[in-house]
Amino acid sequence: MIAGSPSSLLDSLAHEVHVWLLPDACELPANCEGWLTADERQRWRRYRLPADRERYLRGKTLQRTALSRYLPIAPPDWRFRIESQGRPVISSPATGTDLRFSLSHTTGLTALAVASDREVGIDVEYVNRQVPDSLARFALSPAELAERAQLQAARDQDPFFEFWTLKEAFLKARGSGFSVAPATLSFTLMTREEPTLMRSVEAWQFAQLKPSPAHQLALAIGPDRAGAFKRLTVHVRHFMQLADDYLATEAA
């Protein structure tokens, strides 16, 4: 098997979760607007601010291009459907696999998580900003607010963003978005290994990354379809490498 070929990447998801990063400084393939479906194009055009349109296009391009690294399906050929609470999932082509993805965009960075046979959620936030008290009280549980106050002096960045990205990643992995009130979940960062979700009935794996000094990223990785917990390795991959490969394939 050639390392990096579609099936070897897909096989590696048996023991890995992949995080694809697309910094705003990286150019998109020139033809990627043409990859949007009629519905996606309509939504893209509805964004009034150019920055929001660009953010949406970067997300959809990363989603399509990254997924095409796992299966021999060209980026424009993927179709997605939106579940009742907002989560996008692959609808076609039928892949015969249980490939899962989760997308997040923030100032300066777009990130996509890819996993197989289990739920996955990702969130990335730009951290060089003030957090209004009202947002902290809305988002954090009383225990998290107390932990945040305790940790704040020792951290370079507000621990709020760690709690927040963990919650969003978890809620996205569950497909519920913020139909669940974020303050009803409670994480603790004061563990020796990884952050822990308190009072969870299932075993979940959580990971935190700092893709740049200005960004905080969290991943939530569920048990497999049979309910079994297995710790996976998080592997970070960069979009430039992926774009170059795709463009090279296109040009051949």
Ligand X SMILES: CC(C)(COP(=O)(O)OP(=O)(O)OC[C@H]1O[C@@H](n2cnc3c(N)ncnc32)[C@H](O)[C@@H]1OP(=O)(O)O)[C@@H](O)C(=O)NCCC(=O)NCCS
The residue whose two tokens read 């996205």 is: 172
Q: Measured from the CB atom, is 116 or 216 closer to ligand X?
A: 216
Rounded to a whole number of angstroms, the minimum distance from the CB of residue 64 to ligand X is 12
How many angstroms separate the CA atoms of 163 and 136, rounded? 10
| 78 forms part of the interface with ligand X (CB under 6 A) | no
H helix or E strand, kind and range, residue 145: helix 142-151
| 177 forms part of the interface with ligand X (CB under 6 A) | yes
Span from 144-152, 171-179, 198-206, 227-235 in contact with ligand X (CB under 6 A): 171-179
| 59 forms part of the interface with ligand X (CB under 6 A) | yes
| 105 forms part of the interface with ligand X (CB under 6 A) | yes
Q: Is the peptide bond before 23 cis (omega within 30 degrees of 0)?
A: no
Rounded to a whole number of angstroms, the minimum distance from the CB of residue 85 to ligand X is 5
| 140 forms part of the interface with ligand X (CB under 6 A) | no
Rounded to a whole number of angstroms, the minimum distance from the CB of residue 171 to ligand X is 6
Span from 2-10, 174-182, 221-229, 239-247 in contact with ligand X (CB under 6 A): 174-182
| 58 forms part of the interface with ligand X (CB under 6 A) | no
The long-range contacts involving 150-154, CB below 8 angstroms and separated by at least 24 positions, are: 151/189, 151/190
Sign for the pseudo-dihedral over CA of 141, 144, 150, 151:
negative
Could you give the dihedral angle defined by the CA atoms of residues 231, 232, 233 and 234, in that order, rounded to the nearest 10 degrees? -120
Q: Measured from the CB atom, is 220 or 243 closer to ligand X?
A: 220
Asked whether 19 and 237 are in contact (CB, 8 A), the reply is: yes
Span from 45-53, 168-176, 190-198, 204-212 in contact with ligand X (CB under 6 A): 168-176
| 211 forms part of the interface with ligand X (CB under 6 A) | no
Asked whether 94 and 138 are in contact (CB, 8 A), the reply is: no
Q: Measured from the CB atom, is 4 or 34 closer to ligand X?
A: 34
Q: Measured from the CB atom, is 29 or 121 closer to ligand X?
A: 121
How many angstroms separate the CA atoms of 233 and 51, rounded? 34
| 86 forms part of the interface with ligand X (CB under 6 A) | yes
Identify which of 225, 157, 155, 164 has the alpha carbon closest to the alpha carbon of residue 195: 164
Q: Which residues bind ligand X (CB under 6 A)?
A: 56, 59, 85-88, 102-105, 123, 125, 164, 168, 171-172, 175-178
